[in-house]
Amino acid sequence: MSTLTYVEALREGMVLEMRRDPKVFLAGEDVGLFGGCFGQTQGMFAEFGPERVVDTPISETAIIGLGTGAAAAGLRPIVELMFIDFVGVAMDELFNQAAKMRYMFGGKAKVPFVARMPAGAGFSAAAQHSQSLEAWLAHIPGIKVVMPYSPADAKGLMISSIRDDNPVVYIETKTLYGLKGEVPEGEYLTPIGKAAVVREGSDVSLISWGAMVGTCLTAAEQLSKSGKEAEVVDLKTIVPFDLETVLNSVKKTGRAVIVHEAVRTAGFGAEVAAELAEKGFDSLNAPIVRVTAPNTPVPFSPPLEKEYIPSAEKVVKAALGLF
């Protein structure tokens, strides 16, 4: 094991795969000499050179189009959008081309590329650079969506995503970049589509992904002081969604609180809640509760942004309200 930050771990995943497979390359804005907007690609240009670490124009359409075409032609590109907020510019390439190509060619065409997208609030980057849009992407058949919390999963899901033969959107929550944790050395894969119970509990299930897993872990410690033991489930992957792990947790605890940073309306938490209501209703001893961001743009003001992002205190209040 090594102790790495989240950003170091995801970079290690990319580097290992580029060393292993010459078909893997990286492209995006400022990924080369600059080393990435948040330092995600530091040192990669020096090792792999301009043919495999490619600085692109400021064009999300071109970046996702490059990934789609290169993947269909037999390469395994990793393409980066500087912020997930800009994915709307490239949605036609993503949902009408990359997502549908394998299906429309009867499985004969593979589109193995990873689209990396930093997401989330917490930096006072205002409404156009702070959104969590995983639910948009989850709605598109043909795309896998991963959103790791721990540094170990940042590396493991990166490697799994690069090796997958389908388009994978890899969402990096920006507030996690400095998070430190133990990461297995060398080749290490986290399976796509498998959630994990990261804290055992018996009274209430806290279900989340990305940075909100950390919020849930903090809330669970606070709940323990109130005599309630919370189980924390980290989905890790939005699509495919590991419903079985969620159902097993709620069967044990009888209560569910779903926590995400995205806005409430049509957030992915609504899908989790619907599946629980349809397939786990008999396990529930209380209504399903969601703790989310409000249905507003992300504020620039630091105090307002702090209020916008779900807090451990809000999770605790929601959980205690179920008893």
Q: What is the pLDDT of residues 41-69, one digit of tens each?
A: 999 999 999 999 999 999 999 999 999 99
Mean pLDDT, rounded, for 215-224: 98
Element (H, E) at 248: helix 243-253
Mean pLDDT, rounded, for 126-152: 97
User: What is 2-183's CATH number, 3.40.50.360, 3.40.50.1950, 3.40.50.970, 3.40.50.10470?
Assistant: 3.40.50.970
Q: What residue spans of 73-98 are helical by DSSP H? A: 91
List pLDDT tens digits, range 269-280. 999 999 999 999
List pLDDT tens digits, range 238-264. 999 999 999 999 999 999 999 999 999
User: What is 196-320's CATH number, 3.30.465.10, 3.40.449.10, 3.40.50.920, 3.30.565.10?
Assistant: 3.40.50.920
Q: Catalytic residue at 139?
A: no
Of 11, 129, 174, 228, catalytic: 129
Domain ranges of the chain: 2-183, 196-320
Question: Residue 240: its pLDDT value, please?
Answer: 97
pTM: 0.97
Distances in Å between the Cα of 200 and the Cα atoms of 46, 232, 235, 263, 279 are: 44, 7, 15, 28, 22
List pLDDT tens digits, range 70-129. 999 999 999 999 999 999 999 999 999 999 999 999 999 999 999 999 999 999 999 999
User: In 3-state terms, what secondary structure has residue 293?
Assistant: strand
Mean pLDDT, rounded, for 3-31: 98
Question: Residue 80: its pLDDT value, please?
Answer: 98
List pLDDT tens digits, range 278-306. 999 999 999 999 999 999 999 999 999 99
